[in-house]
Structures are given as structure tokens and as C-alpha cells.
Amino acid sequence: MPSILFVCLGNICRSPLAEAALREEARRRGVDVVVDSAGTGDWHAGEPPDERAIAVAARHGVDIGALRARQVTRADFTRFDHIVALDHENLKNLRRLAPANATAELSLLLDHVPGREGQAVTDPWFGDASGFDVTWAEVTAAARGLVERFGGRGSRD
């Protein structure tokens, strides 16, 4: 069963939305996957997602209100098969944090969307609620790509 950790800066906007989108797509397609999210920073540890993130997920039938932010740990680099950064700065930080025994494959989330490789997911933090709709669309497209990668064509592997 593949395991994926999504990582953004504070783990209250983009990465919990990516976690939710992948959980929902995997559930819909009957694919077993372990999913979590974390931030490279620790200042939101223990907090729920941003209320705008909770609202956009709810509009798409997904409840993320019980999620709590956490900081990425060195153990995550061997616990997960894939650690997926939401932007270049977090990918750079993950490469710096990775221990010598890291086994996780690192990538950008939009590397899993044809035609969007190398691009960062829109950070909605400083904008209004409409930015979260853009972010949801991006993480949902990536979730579809990840499920395809893991062989999710409507049946359990």
C-alpha cells in the first residue's frame, strides 16, 4: 500500500487540502493508500486547518475539521514512500531536512499533473476564499494523477 505525506509551510491550508483530495479520490476509486500531511514550520502545530480550507473541502463533501497541523519529522523520510511538497521552497527545505537514510521519494505535487510539472500549488493564505477554490482544483487534479500512478482504475489492487 503506497504511503504519501503532503508538505506545505504551516500545514493548515494546502497540505491538508491535498491530503483530503487524495483520501477522497482513493476512496472513490477503491484504492488503498496511507495519507498524511505536515508542515516544514511548527508554529501551527496542533491547530485545525484554516477555516477557508475547511469550507472549500466541505463544499466538495469532505470534512477536514478534525485534522491537526504537525511539523514534518526525520522519521517521516523512512515512514512514507512519497513526500510531496506543495511548492519549491518546501521541497528545498525537505531536501535539507532529509536524513542520510531517507527512503521517501520527493516530488512537487503538480509534477503529478500532466502539463503542470515543476509548478507550485497556489498558496491561498494571503488572499480571499476564492484562492482556496483554485488550490482545491489543483490538489484534486494531482490526487487523480497520484491514484492513476498507483493503479487505481476502479478496483482494489
Given CA atoms 63, 64, 65, 67 in this order, what sign does their dihedral have? positive
Neighbours of 29 (CB within 10 A): 19
Q: State the catalytic residues.
A: 8, 14, 123
- What is residue 35's predicted lDDT score, i.e. its pLDDT? 98
Q: Which residues contact 112 (CB under 8 A, 6 or more apart)?
A: 84, 142, 145, 146, 149
- What is residue 152's predicted lDDT score, i.e. its pLDDT? 57
- What is residue 156's predicted lDDT score, i.e. its pLDDT? 36
Each domain of the chain, given as residue ranges in start order, spans: 3-149
Place of cell 487505481: 152
Q: pLDDT tens track of the chain, all 157 residues? A: 999 999 999 999 999 999 999 999 999 999 999 999 999 999 999 999 999 999 999 999 999 999 999 999 999 999 999 999 999 999 999 999 999 999 999 999 999 999 999 999 999 999 888 999 999 999 999 999 999 988 755 433 3
- For residue 63, give the C-alpha cell: 470534512
- For residue 133, give the C-alpha cell: 477554490
Distance from C-alpha of 79 to C-alpha of 105, rounded to nearest angstrom: 11
- What is residue 150's predicted lDDT score, i.e. its pLDDT? 84
CATH number (3.40.50.2300, 3.40.50.720, 3.40.50.300, 3.40.50.150) of 3-149 reads 3.40.50.2300
The answer to whether the pTM exceeds 0.85 is yes
